[in-house]
Structure 1
Amino acid sequence: MTMKASLARPRFLLSSLSMVIIAASLGGCLSGSGSDSDAATPPPANPLIATTAQGDVQGVELTNMRVFRGIPYAAPPVRFAAPEPALNRASTLQLTEDFGADCAQPGGTFGSESTAEDCLFLNVYAPQAPGDYPVMLWIHGGAFVTGSGGASYEPSRLVEQGVVVVTINYRLGALGFLPHSSLADESGNYGNYGLMDQQEALRWVQENISAFDGDPDNVTIFGESAGGHSVLSHVVSPSSEGLFHKAIVQSGAYNPTQVSQAAGQIGLGTPFVEATGCDEAADTGQCLRGLPVATVLANQLSNYIPVVNATNTGILPLSIDAGLSSGDFNQAPMLMGSNQDEGRLFVAIDVFSQRPVTADNYQTKVNDLLALDPRPYPREPIAEDYLIDTREEGIATTEAQVYPLALAAIQTDWRFACPNLNQLNQVRSAQVPVWGYWFTDRNAPNILGASPGFPLGATHAFEIQYVLNNEAALQQRGATEAQIELSRRMVEYWANFAKFSDPNSTDGAAGAVTWDGYTGLQGNLLDLDPVTLSQVPATEFVDYHSCAYWANPQ
């Protein structure tokens, strides 16, 4: 197949369906007995007070759920060190509207500026009725540099399905992921502090979630983008074994060239140390730990990711690729997928940052992008073929739109879609149950609040609102009834997976959409489209995203 042919974008014909939302019921009973008529009846327990190992916390009641915001899941962190368990409290912690401070980060498209290092908080959303509910722990995205587990995510519809939802903060940027040997622990490992925070939150859940009517033996971790990458990191981390039982990866394709901590020091650690002047200090580690937060944020880079630690005592002793391909991972059922136009978000951010893609710089941007991959991709032919394909697809309404859309298509296929397919195949090869999806709603509501001058389509992060927002928020963004119905179905799939280790309903509800487990390239993916939701052959995904070509560049 020629490359141009492999880039053809087929159309799909899918069928529409309906589903039933299972609402959590409100209930409870009090009982008392005894022959002593003078015996006092004990007051009913306050469902808004949960007794954790560290002390009582009191939440608030919202429609159909109890909410506990801003619970410390670890002690205030020591900079560039593993987190310690949360401190005990003598008095009840009153939790109202405060999610706790966001971890230090620069302001940007997806996060507000913060300089807080005491930021290791989580939030618990629980059904009102007592029970023993499955738990879903959300790890936010944001390129490991921005974001939080706070107000951006509204999980009420998942809670109504009968699950407890936990959202977390974790250290970001250099404070969360700086790899430098001056910060090594006693075993010689460094970096990945944010991953350690996530793991500490999972330990907190094991110890405490039963106080919120959650089942510590039925925990699903799920995340998007950097959060999805984090989920995969825990899937292959030996020290995360037993802390979760299922995993959902949304647009979290790992970098196949994930580097060691030593290589990370060269690319990320040393430039930061030199920029801050700590390379001139007598004790580099002490200098780094003493820097003002503003100095850290001003000098950190934007491409931090977890690194492979040097010894088996590190949280990530092997790469995600090595773990998945060898079968040496925590073999929990998995659900994973990607969006049809992932790359358009990143090109849009360039536009908002006054770095638009034009005819003059298009080839340079393609070269810079593919330079991140050591495989010998022919950069000029790729750039030209994607221009041809973008023009043929007919989405661009002007010639000026062709260049950003073509670059975005390269990013989508190379960085997300085809690596996601590879992950599906790796997990399937290990005989682990896995379901694959493809989010294709090209009219998804725009969560950015601005237009980059070209269609955003089904871009990166746009599926989150379909699972972690309420219907009112979708309506305010202009969602159609078909999109709201798709959102309802996605909420049920995600909740079913947490409850049953299978996204399909077990109650025989009329119109439920069957989602087959992924069986390889001869099998299916679920195409999440609001009008024509159905399963499509995995080969259509392969052809659309040119995955055969990207697997074997010529």
Structure 2
Amino acid sequence: MNRRSFIKKSGLTSIGLGAVSPVLKKARCSGHAHASIVARADHAVVETTAGKIRGYQDHGIFTFKGIPYAATTALQNRFSPPKSVTPWTGIRDALAYGPICPQRPNKGWASEEYAFLFQWVDGYQGEDCLRVNVWSTRLDKHAKKPVMFWIHGGGFFSGSSQEHPSYDGRNLSAFGDVVVISVNHRLNVFGFLDLSAYGDQYAASGNGGMLDLIAALQWVKNNVENFGGDPNNVTLFGQSGGASKITTLMNMPLAKGLFHKAISQSSSVAKIASREYASALTKNVLAYLDISARNIDTLHQVDYRRLIEAAIVAEKKVSESAVGKKVPRSGWQPVMDGVIIPSHPFYPNAPEFSADVPMMIGSNRHEWSASIGDSAMEALTDEGLRKKLMERYPEKGEAFYQVCKHIYPHAKPVEILSFLNPYNPMAHVLAEVKSAQQQANVYLYMFAWETKLLDGRPRAYHCSEIPFIFYNTDRCATMTGATEEARLLSEKVAKAWINFARTGNPNHHGLPEWPAFKQSNGATMIFNNVCEVKRDPDRAFRKFYLTL
């Protein structure tokens, strides 16, 4: 079946713009079409609550980058809740990505194969980083298009809205006729240093990064109509750390009503930091900087590079201490303060604040691909696997080995090792507690498509689904191979995300029927060259893993 026949048969022509749109024909995934950029003083000008901005058109898609949604966080505003943007006169340019939050160097560049796959765009660092980027097919306040709000990964300590080429929103906006928005916010010590013990002015400092996201969503509510979006149909979607930020937002009273659907991709967070853990991080930061309660305000004068040094040292010390071993995920993260975040996001139950918000939740088959950057791991033997499991789980390693070999009798030892991560079991756990509320549908998925690049060793690795969701498989050729196989799957995956954003239901003609998840049915959509729904495919593995 050729591409045109597939699109017609699968029903993909029903997306927003109708039959394969002129915008999409120009954009495609490849980026090899003739240049079509329009950037003029009087073109792509939009009014916002702070003043007018000017963007540009990229293959028909109106594009705006680096729009400030809240005031600079530098110096006097460090560790405070985000402030309103000071309005400007005239027209402000929104043509290039803004600064990213200061953060530690990206260690991924040290691995040639990871660098090849991801092709990171590190950007430039600065504390004036509270910026959003917008892609839209039409600047019409009456268009009421679904809004898809992307939150980047990198835990709560690194990353940005532009760090991966896969994050570019042009093709997704064109394919789905949706408004795509991505966001930068404060991270690590800048967004999550809990100074509440040092004065009322710092009461919210431990959750500053999450309050930034609230401010960005409030900006969307107040401004997105002028970009063609519907402020009453906003879907959050994010991966890894971005997904964890989404599950946290779902338990923040201040976020209620600012979004209406949520998609969590590869999140392992049901709990966040306690006051004890956050306090330990803070004490280590202050000790490194030789700052005490008496001169706490001198934190505002510390160079941001020195703050990053302190944050790295503090994170290492706390993770090695007793308090660091009491948390499911160490490092910088929000703090359960009882006010801004009243309880753990999804433990023991899903939050009541967002009970009526439909969700999609999922993970990738080989999140911890064990042989990226180490081809020798492909030769791992059964005995080698047993040894690694015994080292990691001294008391249950042998039993775990027997369980894995029984459940996955045909999997290579290196593949089994790649399964041993919290993302797959936690996706099911989050779906269980969400569906138990019986107030909104939840859809569970697993992305299982394996790249052929690097001899196929990465498999369905962490982040590998993102180019498919953004309809960027050709733009991200070093991840996907830019094959027709990848393009066809991308049409199915992107359409599911778009339909969910549009209606709360990801089903479409290109997929088998995807039932809403219930504990009784365990319905899980497996995204692969042949997509299929399975009933709780990893049940035995998950049950044992959660006892470790």
* TM-score (ref. length: structure 1): 0.77
Contact between 2:261 and 2:358, CA under 8 Å: does it hold in 1? yes
Asked if 2 retains the 8 angstrom alpha-carbon contact of 1:386 and 1:409, the reply is: no
How far off is 1:472 after superposition? 2.7
Partner of 2:432: 425
Following superposition, the deviation at residue 46 of structure 1 comes to 6.4
Deviation digits for residues 319-338 of structure 1, max 9, x if unmatched?
Answer: 11247346454521111101
Structure-to-structure mapping, 1:202-241, within 5 angstroms? 202-241=217-256
1:60 aligns with 2:56: yes
Match of 1:484 in 2: 487
Structure 1 residues 329 and 366, CA gap change in structure 2 (3 angstroms): farther
Q: How many residues of Structure 1 are paired with residues of Structure 2 in the alignment?
A: 477
Contact residue 123 and residue 162 of structure 2 kept, 8 A: no
By how many angstroms is 1:175 displaced? 1.2
Q: CA deviation at 1:26?
A: 7.4
Question: Relative to 1, partners in 2 of residues 1:81 and 1:386: Cα closer, same or farther, differing over 3 Å?
Answer: farther
Q: Distance in 1 between matches of 2:452 and 2:68?
A: 34
Aligned partner of 1:137 in structure 2 is 149
Q: Provide the residue aligned with 2:331 in structure 1.
A: 304
Q: Could you tell me which residue of structure 1 aligns to residue 302 of structure 2? A: 291
Matches within 5 A, 1:75-86: 75-77=71-73, 78-86=77-85
Q: Which amino acid aligns with 1:491?
A: A
SS at match of 1:419: helix
Distance of aligned partners of 1:514 and 1:471 in 2 relative to their CA distance in 1, 3 Å threshold: same
- 3-state DSSP of counterpart to 2:168: coil
State the partner residue of 2:398: 381
1:164 aligns with 2:179: yes
Deviation digits for residues 156-180 of structure 1, max 9, x if unmatched?
2321211101000011121122234
Residues 1:549 and 2:548 are matched in the alignment:
no
Shift of the 169–317 alpha-carbon distance from structure 1 to 2, 3 Å rule, reads same
Report if the CA contact (8 A) 1:121-1:169 is conserved.
Answer: yes
Cα distance in 1 for partners of 2:132, 2:417 equals 37
Verify the 8 A CA contact 2:267 2:426 in the aligned structure 1. no
Structure 1 Cα separation of the partners of residues 201 and 381 of structure 2: 50
Alignment RMSD, CA only? 3.3
Tell me the CA shift for residue 384 of structure 1: 4.8
Give the conservation status (yes or no) of the 8 Å contact 2:80–2:204: no
The superposition leaves residues 100-136 of structure 1 with CA deviations (integer Å, 9 ceiling, x where unpaired) of 1111112212562744111111101011364211111
The structure whose RCO (Cα within 8 Å, separation 6+) is larger is 1
Task: For residue 249 of structure 1, report the CA deviation from its aligned partner.
Answer: 0.5
Shift of 1:541: 2.7
Corresponding letter in the other structure for 1:550 = Y
**SS, match of residue 344 in structure 1:** coil
CA contact (8 A) 2:517 2:523 kept: yes
Q: Deviations over 1:23-73 (max 9, x none)?
A: 63679xxxxxxxxxxxxxxxxx96611111100111101113100111001
8 Å CA contact retained: 2:49, 2:222: yes
- What amino acid sits opposite 1:459 in the alignment? Y
Q: Aligned ranges for residues 177-256 of structure 1 at < 5 Å?
A: 177-182=192-197, 185-186=200-201, 188-256=203-271
Q: Going by fraction, where is helix more abundant, 1 or 2?
A: 2
- Structure 2 alignment gaps of length 5 or more: 1-8, 24-40, 109-119, 316-329
Runs (4+) off by over 6 Å:
357-370
User: Between Structure 1 and Structure 2, whose CA radius of gyration is higher?
Assistant: 1
Cα contact 2:65–2:94 (8 A) shared by 1: yes
- Mapped contact 1:159–1:165 kept (Cα < 8 A): yes
Matches within 5 A, 1:385-404: 385=402, 393-395=410-412, 402=414
Identity %: 25
**Alignment partner of 1:496 is 2:499:** yes
Of residues 272, 278, 281, the one that matches 2:291 is 278
Q: Residue 360 and residue 107 in structure 1: after superposition, are their counterparts in 2 closer, same or farther (change >3 A)?
A: farther
Quick one: structure 1 residues 360 and 255, their matched pair in 2 at CA, closer, same or farther if it must change by over 3 Å?
farther
Amino acid at match of 1:378: E
C-alpha distance 72-483 of structure 1, shift in aligned 2 (>3 A): same
Cα 1:369–1:308 shift into 2, 3 Å = farther
Q: Which amino acid aligns with 2:459?
A: G
Could you report, residue by residue, the CA deviation over 1:448-471 in whole angstroms, capped at 9, with x for unpaired residues? xxx6x9922111111111112524
Q: Deviations along 1:259-299, whole A, 9 cap, x unmatched?
A: 31232222x222222223224x732x323332211112223
Contact kept? 1:183, 1:190, Cα under 8 Å = no
The SS at the match of 1:338 is strand
Q: Is the 8 A contact 2:386 2:398 kept in 1?
A: no
